[in-house]
């Protein structure tokens, strides 16, 4: 459920840390991850703790996996101070900042205050469930990469918001937009075809990332199915990469 911030310039943070991006177009890049609390969906496969807590975890040095505890909500000044310190002490280490959740666009109003300053320190990638197009329009000018999910009902257990996803893709066109499809062995071909038709209509330049679900630390979808689905989507003239959650294999955060 949405989690409102409690002060005019503060936001509820879950964690701030440095790691290797494991998914999507920037896979392999070193990023600072800023995870905000709250989500408007309830996906069956969700493995993320996005709930608001009194405290959040902040990595003390990039990649050390030792954390200090900050009170929530967090002020922009505190966040900028930490980011500046990392940028000064470890220049050139980080490729970009990943703004993730939960669903970070629940906080679009405040992000319109935060992002102009954060984006001066590092380019920003937004990881989003693609359901809040109006919120995206408020902040897209400060986002370098939008990585949006198309939430397939066969995997989430909830109806796919096709129309809203289409509106979101259109709003994301101002940035570099990629589309992530989390698939499982039971994903029906019809569902992938419908997703492809939507992308062709609303965001034909977007690259698609087929992401097989990770179960027990392993890819849960047989390779022959992934090959078939990649061919299906490519048949629509789309660029399609198959990328599992590589951070699980690397055993990083």
Closest CA to 169 of 142, 145, 144, 148: 148
For the bound state, the minimum distance from the C-beta of residue 148 to ligand SF4, rounded and expressed in Å, comes to 10
Nearer to ligand SF4, 41 or 78 (CB): 41
- Across 54-93, b (16+ Cβ under 10 Å) vs e yields eebbbbeeeeeeeeeebebbbbbebbeebbeebeeeeeee
Q: Using the rule CB under 6 A, is 42 a contact of ligand SF4?
A: yes
41 versus 173: smaller Cβ distance to ligand SF4: 41
Both structure tokens of 60: 């003390």
Binding segment (CB under 6 A) for ligand SF4, from list 9-17, 41-49, 117-125, 203-211: 41-49
Residue 73: asked if its preceding bond is cis (omega within 30°), the reply is yes
By beta-carbon proximity to ligand SF4, the closer residue of 39 and 115 is 39
* Three-state secondary structure call for residue 188: coil
Q: How far is the CB of 50 from ligand SF4 (least distance, A)?
A: 5
One of 101, 166, 212, 244 touching ligand SF4 (CB under 6 A): 101
Contact between 129 and ligand SF4 by CB under 6 A: the answer reads yes
Could you give the string, one character per residue 46-85, with x where binding to ligand SF4 holds by CB under 6 A and - elsewhere? Answer: x-x-x-----------------------------------
Least distance (Å) between residue 91 CB and ligand SF4: 32
Helix axes 189-202, 223-234, angle to 10 degrees: 30
* CB count in 10 Å sphere of residue 95: 17
CB of 217 to ligand SF4, least distance (A): 18
Applying CB under 6 A, what is the total number of residues that bind ligand SF4? 11
- Decide if residue 189 touches ligand SF4 (CB under 6 A): no
Q: Pick the closer one to ligand SF4 by CB: 48 or 205.
A: 48
From 107, 97, 105, 137, select the one nearest 8 (Cα to Cα): 107
Confirm or reject binding of residue 103 to ligand SF4 (CB under 6 A): yes
Residue 231 main-chain phi, psi, to 5 deg: -65, -40
Q: Is 232 in the site for ligand SF4 (CB under 6 A)?
A: no
Q: Are strands 10-11 and 124-128 parallel, antiparallel or unpaired?
A: unpaired
Indicate which single residue of 12, 25, 73, 102 sits in contact with ligand SF4 (rule: CB under 6 A). Answer: 102
**113 within 8 A of 5, measured Cβ to Cβ:** no
Name the site residues for ligand SF4 (rule: CB under 6 A).
39, 41-43, 46, 48, 50, 101-103, 129
């Amino acid at each position: 459920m949405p989690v409102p911030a409690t002060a005019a310039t503060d936001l509820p943070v879950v964690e701030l840390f440095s790691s290797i991006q494991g998914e999507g177009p920037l896979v392999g890049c070193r990023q600072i991850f800023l995870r905000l609390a709250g989500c408007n969906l309830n996906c069956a496969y969700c493995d993320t703790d996005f709930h608001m807590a009194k405290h959040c975890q902040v990595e003390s040095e990039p990649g050390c996996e030792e954390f200090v505890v900050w009170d929530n909500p967090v002020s922009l000044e505190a966040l900028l101070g930490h980011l500046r310190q990392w940028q000064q002490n470890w220049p050139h280490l980080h490729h970009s900042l990943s703004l993730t959740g939960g669903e970070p666009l629940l906080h679009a109003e405040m992000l319109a205050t935060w992002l102009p300053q954060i984006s001066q320190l590092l380019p920003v990638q937004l990881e989003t469930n693609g359901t809040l197009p109006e919120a995206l329009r408020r902040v897209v000018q400060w986002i370098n990469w939008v990585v949006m999910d198309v939430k397939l009902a066969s995997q989430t257990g909830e109806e796919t918001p096709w129309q809203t996803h289409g509106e979101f893709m259109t709003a994301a066109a101002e940035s570099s937009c990629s589309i992530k499809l989390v698939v499982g062995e039971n994903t029906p071909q019809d569902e992938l075809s419908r997703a492809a038709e939507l992308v062709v209509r609303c965001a034909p330049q977007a690259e698609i990332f087929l992401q097989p679900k990770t179960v027990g630390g392993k890819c849960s979808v047989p390779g022959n199915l992934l090959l078939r689905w990649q061919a299906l989507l490519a048949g629509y003239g789309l660029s399609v990469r198959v990328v599992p959650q590589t951070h699980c294999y690397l055993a990083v955060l």
